[in-house]
């Protein structure tokens, strides 16, 4: 036990205020605030170096009239034509049909894949451990299969001559017409049913496992508190689970849009490397113009339009993520 005397108090008053520490040095690495940006800088430099020249060549070709004939036989005929290439592409009704078809197809894929993935992730969160491990193992195997192989497998499954799906439909319904039903005769059925099935099948593993990992981060205390307050399962999911996993939902939705909007390999394999006009989305249309028809300048214009459309979605996604980050501070 200490005793404070008058002498002690007088000595403390004579000594003055306690000395303060030296002010922190302000510099580039002060308090470590700029270290993450410094670590990201090499990756940014590499990406810029890899993408700069191809992007320059893409824009340069868009303002020329280069095709295979002009490039190989008469290269002197390749010249700058200004915005004539843009006028030809944007004035083509087929281009806008392909863009609308790509938007509808992408919307279908994103909505169905996100809904199915969320349902499967919720089921994984409720099943036993051995069932969860089995399902995750199967999904990892599906994720490892190339998109071209998936497309080929689904082409066999839906084949009008001995296809597995037709045979199962016949066994279930007993209708003989299902034995040789051609799923690809109508482009709407072939694209929006079979094409959507193969793309969603390949996208489910990543989305399901990601959503399941996000669901495990929802605090159990919040769910228990919601139930004590009288909330049912749907109300707890909407008011507790969704706000917690919203950042991952934004990321997965944006990635799904990017992947699905430029889908190519699955449709390319489904139609045996020759997609008919009704099956052409922006990815296959770009292939047909740039590789098959060798119209390099028109293909460059289509590529630029494709990049701009995806950037518009990315800008919206970045703004939403900034809002989420601001609300969490």
- Give the domains, in start order, of the chain with CATH numbers: 92-328 (1.10.3720.10)
b/e string for 73-100 if b means 16 or more Cβ within 10 A?
eeeeebeebeeebbebbeeeeebeebbe
Strand partners, 64: 80
Closest CA to 324 of 208, 231, 242: 242
- Enumerate the H helices of the chain as residue ranges: 6-15, 35-62, 68-72, 84-90, 93-124, 129-144, 147-157, 164-173, 187-189, 196-215, 220-228, 233-236, 242-261, 265-270, 282-287, 296-328
Instruction: Please say whether the dihedral angle defined by the alpha carbons of residues 25, 28, 29 and 31, taken in this order, is positive or negative.
Output: positive
What was the pLDDT predicted at 325? 65
Q: How many CB atoms lie within 10 A of CB 145?
A: 13
What was the pLDDT predicted at 73? 61
pTM of the model: 0.81
What was the pLDDT predicted at 179? 85
- Work out the angle at residue 143's Cα, subtended by the Cα atoms of residues 137 and 146, and round it to the nearest 5 degrees: 140
Per-run averaged pLDDT (10 residues), the chain, 329 residues = 48 51 51 77 88 89 80 69 90 94 94 94 90 91 90 91 89 86 91 94 92 89 84 85 87 88 92 89 92 88 91 80 68
């Amino acid at each position: 036990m200490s005793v404070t005397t008058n002498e002690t108090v007088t000595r403390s008053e004579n000594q003055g205020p306690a000395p303060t520490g030296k002010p922190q040095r302000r510099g580039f690495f002060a308090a470590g605030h700029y270290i993450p940006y410094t670590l990201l800088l090499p990756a940014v430099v590499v990406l810029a170096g890899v993408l700069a020249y191809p992007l320059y060549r893409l824009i340069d070709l868009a303002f020329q009239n280069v095709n295979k004939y002009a490039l190989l036989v008469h290269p002197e005929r390749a010249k700058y034509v200004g915005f004539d290439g843009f006028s030809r592409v944007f004035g083509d009704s087929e281009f806008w049909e392909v863009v609308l078809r790509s938007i509808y197809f992408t919307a279908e894929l994103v909505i169905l894949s996100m809904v199915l993935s969320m349902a499967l992730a919720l089921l994984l969160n409720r099943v036993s451990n051995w069932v969860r491990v089995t399902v995750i193992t199967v999904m990892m195997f599906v994720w490892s299969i190339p998109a071209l192989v998936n497309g080929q497998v689904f082409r066999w499954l839906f084949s009008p001559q001995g296809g597995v799906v037709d045979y199962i439909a016949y066994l279930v319904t007993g209708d003989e017409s299902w034995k040789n039903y051609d799923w690809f005769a109508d482009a709407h059925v072939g694209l929006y049913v079979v094409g959507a099935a193969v793309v969603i099948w390949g996208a489910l593993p990543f989305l399901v496992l990601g959503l399941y990992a996000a669901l495990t981060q929802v605090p159990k205390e919040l769910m228990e508190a919601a139930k004590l307050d009288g909330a049912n399962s749907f109300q707890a999911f909407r008011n507790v689970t969704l706000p917690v996993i919203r950042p991952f939902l934004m990321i997965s939705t944006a990635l799904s849009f990017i992947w699905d909007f430029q889908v190519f390999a699955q449709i390319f394999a489904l139609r045996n490397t020759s997609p008919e006009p009704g099956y052409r989305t922006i990815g296959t249309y770009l292939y047909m113009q740039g590789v098959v028809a060798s119209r390099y300048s028109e293909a460059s214009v289509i590529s630029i339009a494709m990049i701009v459309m995806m950037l518009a979605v990315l800008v919206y996604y970045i703004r939403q993520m900034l809002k989420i980050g601001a609300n969490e501070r």
